[in-house]
Chain A
Amino acid sequence: MKRRALGMGMGALALSACDEAPGEVQRGANPTLPEPRRGLLPVMTIPRPAGWGGDLPSVPQGYAIQAIATDLRIPRQTLVLPNGDILVAEGSGGNAPRLRPKDFIAGLIKKLGRSPVAGGNRITLLRDADGDGTYETRGIFAEGLNAPYGMALVNGILYVANQDALVRFDYADGQIEASGPPRIVTRLPSAINHHWTKSLTASPDGQLLYVGIGSNSNITERGMEAEVDRAMVWEINAQTGAHRPYATGLRNPTALTFHPETGQLWAVANERDEIGPDLVPDYLTSVQEGGFYGWPYSYWGKNVDIRVQPQDPAKVASAIVPDFSLGAHVAALGVAFSTPAMGTNFAEGVFVGQHGSWNRSPPSGYKVIFVPFRDGMPTGEAIDFVSGFLNSDGNARGRPVGVTVDPRGALIVADDLTNTVWRVTATSPGFGSRRPI
């Protein structure tokens, strides 16, 4: 009897390792959502760093990609300045204590898929003075920051979202170094910082700033008290620093941007883990003022997550369904609207940088995709724009983070595994315009 009980236990262990065969990566407005499930052992598939060895990421025909900066210190997000200079925010944040035995073990495993380089806590400036596509000048614009991530330039002011505060620098065209230390616009929620990345964008008129603040847990396992002012987008008055929650229930809104024509705020957000390889899809969505997007009580609209107790049926009833599924666990960390200068096939839509999964087999993400738009909304099939970040052995040659569109016709991609900034440009006429001198 006891022997059998033990046998069953071991059997359950063995089963749990293979009961999560995933389906296709679900993209689009109506992803198929399987039942939540999780074996005894969570799936952890960590693609190991593999390096490029002379290869380059793949881009569509008519485009070329090159590394414009290497040996950075964990580049996350980039910003193209009016004169064409590129700012690169480098850093690694978070100070979440390890509370459970699991946190120690999972931390060690996840570390295997990351760059061993320490975060730079700085902003590097890249300049291509002669417009030949080689960024020959490189300098440090600002240092001594605290895990900077989001950046925005409006009305001659550079705003930087550190992991604990929104700060500002005065910026004049052509400047290569900050003229002084940063000044604080407002503090940002930073206790624990399980999800530390503070994404940032500015309203088209520059009066209001929007900061994405990630949750302090996967699914409230650090307690509801830790989630005050988390999993939301703040609207911040650029002048006064006054702020209010603009939208809530976004588990980890890792990148924000405004649609260039409609003036609508859009976000990519990373959803919860540990309920299966195809749950919950990370998403791209327009962010409605006052909207609630489900976390933690429900996902993809009104699908209740029973791991959250006590539940809140009233909040679930108000949950908004996101606009576009990017696929579960792809870890979308970058978003940027395109411009006609990117070429006719990629003129209208949004680029999404996907850092890649650590808990799905086969892995998902590890690419930059293009989601076509029409009339201000996603339409049609998403297309891989930069891929090849996973090699044939399933190891990671790089991991894309932030994406930025250079209005002159280039896509800038930060890669925090190989500490590289990539630049994708059109090579043939008709695909995109050459950068003017």
Chain B
Amino acid sequence: MIAVSTLGFIRPLHPLQAVLLTFPLPLFLGAFFSDLAYAASFQVQWTNFSSWLIAGGLFSGAFAVLWALIDLLLVSAVQRKRQAIYVLVLLVMWGLGFINALVHAKDAWASMPEGPYLSAATALLALMASWMGYSRFKLGDSA
């Protein structure tokens, strides 16, 4: 970490944090589409896919959350508020994702209709988090 942040500049996302942040959106979005496929076909393999996609989103998302929390301590005061919102979005995403994992652990159609709604919500939050995270490149990749 040799990126130097000066007042008024935004420290960019660390590459590792950027890599971690690539996972939750496609995984949670995949779970959502998988849920839709289950709803349309009644083929339980789709809901099994969802379960694993959600588990993957939670696993990678946990590291993203952890990194973002540590980052919160390191960023400048100017960036702190923005970083706090970013962390919060990630945390809510993870929390809802965890509930979604429990919902998907119910057998067969018992995950309906909550499953796809939760998958959609977590995918949306993953999108928000990604947007916020990657926006830092655009604004402040100056170090």
Contact = CB atoms under 8 A, between A and B. Distances in A.
A328 interface: no
A42 B96 CA distance: 18
A2 interface: yes
A274 B106 contact: yes
B51 interface: yes
A13 B105 contact: no
A82 interface: no
A101 B55 contact: yes
Contacts of A12: 99
A399 B124 CA distance: 49
Given A274-B106, A274-B107, A310-B42, A2 B88 contact: yes
A136 interface: no
Interface of A, helix, strand, loop or mixed by DSSP: loop
Contacts of B105: 42, 100-102
The winner among B55, B92, B101, B107 for most chain A CB atoms within 10 A is B107
A374 interface: no
A220 interface: yes
B99 A9 contact: yes
A218 interface: yes
Contact of A100 (B51, B95, B98, B112): B51
Nearest to B52: A101
Interface string B101-126: 11111111110100000000000000
Interface string A300-313: 00000011111000
A2 B89 contact: yes
B72 interface: no
A219 B42 CA distance: 13
Contacts of A18: none
A217 interface: yes
B89 A309 contact: no
B69 interface: no
A40 B115 CA distance: 12
A101 B107 CA distance: 12
A221 B44 contact: yes
A435 interface: no
B107 A218 contact: yes
Contact of A41 (B88, B102, B108): B102
Nearest to B89: A2
B6 interface: no
Interface of B: 42-45, 48, 51-52, 55, 88-89, 91-92, 95-96, 98-99, 101-110, 112
26 contacts: A5-B92, A5-B95, A9-B95, A9-B99, A10-B95, A13-B99, A41-B102, A99-B48, A100-B51, A100-B104, A100-B105, A101-B51, A101-B52, A101-B55, A219-B110, A220-B44, A222-B44, A223-B45, A274-B110, A306-B109, A306-B110, A307-B109, A308-B108, A309-B109, A309-B112, A310-B42
